[in-house]
Amino acid sequence: MADKSLELFESGHRACGGCAPALAARLILKATGENTIVVASTGCMEVFSTPYPETAWKVPWIHSLFENAAAVASGIEVSLKHQGRDENVICICGDGATFDIGMLCISGAFERGHNITYICYDNEAYMNTGIQRSGATPYDANTTTSPAGKNSYGNQMQKKDMPQILAAHGAPYVATASTAYPNDIVKKVERAINTPGACYIQIHTPCCTGWGFDGSKSISISKQAIECGLWVNFEMVDGVVVKAKKVLRKPVDEYLKAQKRFRHLFKPTPNTEEIAKIQAIADRNAEKYDIDIKLKE
């Protein structure tokens, strides 16, 4: 087991104060330890942690393109295997890289079943290039390419279900996690690196700049997402959900109100019709993953 006292993702990088993806990176490396090679796609994390000639990574780290981290990781894994080496090969990539442009390479890597762990830090948009929507952007979120205004309530597409897509590839272990629960991230990454084959973890990592909230609130915002059911923390083994975090669910309103990307839903008065549609998404999640704590009558 890795020595968790080690800080393998150093402070002093250039992330925004309160950047949840940076916290996720730190926790991921606590789980993997030093015997690890990280493959990173283009995105905020790569940009803020590796401005040449500096790096925050104290493990071998490689960046190639926005779209091909899974292919790079596949090649590294095969090469290590031939050399009889046992480093953990992990991808740490944004949601744009994962849900959209990298899908082809990810699908291939999971089909071939490389012994890699692919981790998506999901900040729900293309943040590095100026907050454009991605396949992970939630319904009605305001982004620069799904602007809310007179004719639109923001992003009109539903968040793509990546965990289910990768489970359908036959991934032996698929999990979701959140920076609201740091120990849970560490445990799930440990489980993934110790499971042979291509495993997937998707971590909800709020972006204070892109979502519009004060950086001191990153953790409370992640908690609110779980408490209302818009984010569910679960684990799937061989395609079957084996665990999902139960909650005493609150309405989605407070979570939405806390972020500027949903501000248009409350001004000048609450748009009850649109908010009800978002509540229905949370209700569907709750039913699908059976997360509601039922109080005894």
Ligand X SMILES: Cc1ncc(C[n+]2csc(CCOP(=O)(O)OP(=O)(O)O)c2C)c(N)n1
Binding partner of residue 128 among Mg ion, ligand X, none, CB cut-off 5 to 8 Å per kind: ligand X
Stretch that binds ligand X, among 41-49, 80-88, 258-266, 272-280 (CB under 6 A): 41-49
Contact between 137 and ligand X (CB under 6 A)? no
Q: With CB under 6 A, what is the number of residues at the site for ligand X?
A: 17
Structure-token pair, residue 166 = 């990768």
- Is residue 94 a contact point for Mg ion (CB under 5 A)? yes
138 binds ligand X, rule: CB under 6 A: no
CA–CA dist 178, 121 (Å, integer): 9
Any idea what the Cα angle at residue 91 is, between residues 207 and 210, rounded to 5°? 10
Structure letter (DSSP) for residue 52: T
User: Which of 95, 184, 235, 274 touches Mg ion by CB under 5 A?
Assistant: 95
What is the x/- site pattern for Mg ion, positions 224-263, by CB under 5 A?
A: ----------------------------------------
Number of helices (H), then strands (E), belonging to the chain: the values are 11, 10
Among 22-30, 88-96, 224-232, 274-282, the segment contacting ligand X (CB under 6 A): 88-96
Q: Which two tokens stand for residue 140?
A: 């009605």
Binding partner selected for residue 129 from Mg ion, ligand X, none, CB under the kind-specific 5 to 8 Å limit? ligand X
Q: Which of 123, 179, 218, 233 binds Mg ion (CB under 5 A)?
A: 123
Task: Identify the CA nearest to 91 among candidates 125, 62, 129, 50.
Answer: 62
Strand pairing report for 173-178 and 117-122:
unpaired
Phi-psi bin for 141: left (phi > 0), alpha (psi -120 to 50), beta?
Answer: beta
**Can you tell me which of 20, 25, 45, 69 binds ligand X, judged by CB under 6 A?**
45
Identify the residue among 22, 49, 67, 235 touching ligand X (CB under 6 A). Answer: 67
43: contact with ligand X by CB under 6 A: yes
Question: Which among 22-30, 38-46, 79-87, 238-246 is the span making contact with ligand X, rule CB under 6 A?
Answer: 38-46
- Helix extents (H) in 83-120: 95, 103-112
What is the closest distance, in whole angstroms, from the C-beta atom of residue 112 to Mg ion in the complex? 26
Contact 139, 156 (CB under 8 A): yes
DSSP class of residue 2?
Answer: -
Distances (CA, A) of 90 to 44, 58, 69, 245, 294: 17, 14, 9, 25, 38
Query: Which residues on neighbouring strands pair with residue 175, listed in sequence order?
Result: 201, 235
| Part in contact with Mg ion (CB under 5 A); list of ranges 85-93, 116-124, 225-233, 288-296 | 116-124
119: which strand partners? 92, 201
Applying CB under 5 A, the residues found at the interface with Mg ion are 94-95, 123, 127
Applying CB under 6 A, the residues found at the interface with ligand X are 41-45, 66-67, 94-97, 123, 126-129, 134
